[in-house]
Structure formats: C-alpha cells, structure tokens
Amino acid sequence: MKKRNKFKHSLYLIMALAMLLYAIPKLSLAGGPSWVFGFGVVWSVFAFLVIAAHLHFIIGVDEEKQKRLEAVRKEKIAAWGRWYEEKRVVQK
C-alpha cells in the first residue's frame, strides 16, 4: 500500500511540475504591480506548495511521526471498541 501511495504522489508531482512548466511562460510576471501580476505570483506560490507537499511525502521526512500517529489511531480505535462493549454490557 505504501509503494502505491508513493507512486500516486510521484505521478501528482510530475503533473504539477508539468503544469508549472507549461504555465510559467504564459503567466505575466513582468510589468509591475497589477492584478495580472498578483494572480501570477499567487498561482505560482500555490503550484510550488503542491510540489513541496508531494516531495515531502515521497521523501518520507515524517516517517517516524507517521508511525506514532498510526499507533495513536489504533489505540483510539481500541478505546472506542472497549467503550462500546462497556455500553453494550450495561444496557443488557
């Protein structure tokens, strides 16, 4: 499952890079402050954020944090199961 996720994020990263490379020549980032310039800057920033997010996932910078979160999630599910069982026993 993890390898499939990395493939998916790699594909999205390539698509975002291709979109950015296609759009950069068409964006008007010259001519001083204007609405067109502002749009070009904001669009570029969002594109770079998307690329950075996918790179962050692919590189696996927070792999240890992800393992800890998974352990917490499993414990939370187990606690809900115990709580549900207690409620069921009390209602009988």
> Can you read off the two tokens belonging to residue 60?
């696996």
Domain spans of the chain, in order of start: 1-61, 62-92
pLDDT digits (tens, 9 = 90+) for 53-83: 999 888 876 777 778 888 999 999 999 988 8
14-41 confidence digits (pLDDT tens): 999 999 999 988 887 777 788 888 888 8
> What 3-state DSSP class applies to 12?
helix
- Euclidean distance between CA atoms 12 and 49, whole angstroms: 13
Q: Is the whole-model pTM more than 0.95?
A: no
Helices (H), the chain: 2-23, 35-59, 63-91
**How many other CB atoms are found less than 10 A from the CB of residue 73?**
10
The letter for the amino acid at 68 is R
Nearest CA to 29 among 38, 20, 21? 38
